[in-house]
């Protein structure tokens, strides 16, 4: 479903991604872990060209884009195959919960308002927000706002959902409700790539874990191998610091 070949990214002189190769299969729930600054978020944002890699090729669901200057059309086509859930939710503050979810369907997918409304209401019910559809984001808790973000991503019916530290802006008591929704969606077979610091979640919900450090993938595999029987010293140290 996703194939990354030799992805390099610099921010000025900072070489942040140093030749990443990665394959994600359909239905995979792939969790990326690693120390702060290791390049996890940059890698995730390269998958839909929110960050442009300097070098390398990205394919999502059979569509490939390469290099630093692809056409706008190619970037748009790639982006439409993905949806992203952001750390800070990125909701429209002047739109209601329902309007936030409908927006992509009406604008990008050119659905009628009534079609978009029907789909959005069903998804908001699924994430437990049926009673909040007419509220504005500011009236919701962080956990509820993130659930709107997840409903919005699902509405686009993407080939892949990319989660960028979806719980790291939340108060601790709200982390569980958001992880539970992500886990529920994961069990439905949607391909997901999740950058997170929640190691218990990775152990529970992922079928593959990738450990990044200093712009490279150091180790990857089943959560039982990577998290329980790590091979590389850097990963052992990283896991030790978390307990």
Instruction: Kindly list the residues in this chain that would bind ligand ADP in the complex (CB under 6 A).
Output: 11, 14, 16, 34, 36-42
In the complex with ligand ADP, which residue's Cβ is closer, 133 or 206? Answer: 206
Q: In whole angstroms, what is the distance from residue 164 CA to residue 162 CA?
A: 6
**Minimum distance from residue 166 beta carbon to ligand ADP (Å):** 13
Within 8 A by CB and 6+ apart from 76, the residues are none
In the complex with ligand ADP, which residue's Cβ is closer, 39 or 143? Answer: 39
Sheet holding 2-11, edge to edge: 14-24, 2-11, 55-60, 63-66
**Minimum distance from residue 73 beta carbon to ligand ADP (Å):** 24
**Minimum distance from residue 107 beta carbon to ligand ADP (Å):** 26
In the complex with ligand ADP, which residue's Cβ is closer, 41 or 48? Answer: 41
In the complex with ligand ADP, which residue's Cβ is closer, 12 or 72? Answer: 12
Nearest to 226 by CA among 234, 37, 44, 180: 234
Indicate if the alpha-carbon torsion angle 209, 179, 236, 5 is positive or negative. Answer: positive
In the complex with ligand ADP, which residue's Cβ is closer, 38 or 59? Answer: 38
Q: How many residues does the chain have?
A: 243
**Minimum distance from residue 18 beta carbon to ligand ADP (Å):** 11
Sheet holding 216-221, edge to edge: 82-85, 160-164, 191-195, 29-33, 208-213, 216-221
**Minimum distance from residue 185 beta carbon to ligand ADP (Å):** 22
What is the helix (H) or strand (E) element at residue 43, kind and residue range? helix 40-47
């Amino acid at each position: 479903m996703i194939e990354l070949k030799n992805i390099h990214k610099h921010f000025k002189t900072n070489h942040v991604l140093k030749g990443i190769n990665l394959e994600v299969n359909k239905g995979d729930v792939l969790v990326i872990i690693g120390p702060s600054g290791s390049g996890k978020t940059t890698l995730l944002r390269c998958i839909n060209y929110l960050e442009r890699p300097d070098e390398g090729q990205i394919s999502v669901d059979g569509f490939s884009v390469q290099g630093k200057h692809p056409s706008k059309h190619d970037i748009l086509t790639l982006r439409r195959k993905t949806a992203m859930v952001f750390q800070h939710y990125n909701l429209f503050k002047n739109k209601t919960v329902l309007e936030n979810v409908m927006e992509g369907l009406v604008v990008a997918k050119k659905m009628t308002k009534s079609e978009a409304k029907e789909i959005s209401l069903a998804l908001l019910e699924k994430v437990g927000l049926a009673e909040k559809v007419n509220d504005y984001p500011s009236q919701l808790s962080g956990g509820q706002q993130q659930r709107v973000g997840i409903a919005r991503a699902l509405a686009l019916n993407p080939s892949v959902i990319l989660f960028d530290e979806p719980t790291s802006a939340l108060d601790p008591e709200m982390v569980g409700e958001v992880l539970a929704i992500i886990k529920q969606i994961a069990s439905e077979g949607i391909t997901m790539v999740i950058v997170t610091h929640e190691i218990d979640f990775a152990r529970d919900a992922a079928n593959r874990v990738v450990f990044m450090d200093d712009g490279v993938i150091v180790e990857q595999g089943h959560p039982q191998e990577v998290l329980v029987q790590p091979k590389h010293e850097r990963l052992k140290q990283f896991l030790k610091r978390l307990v």
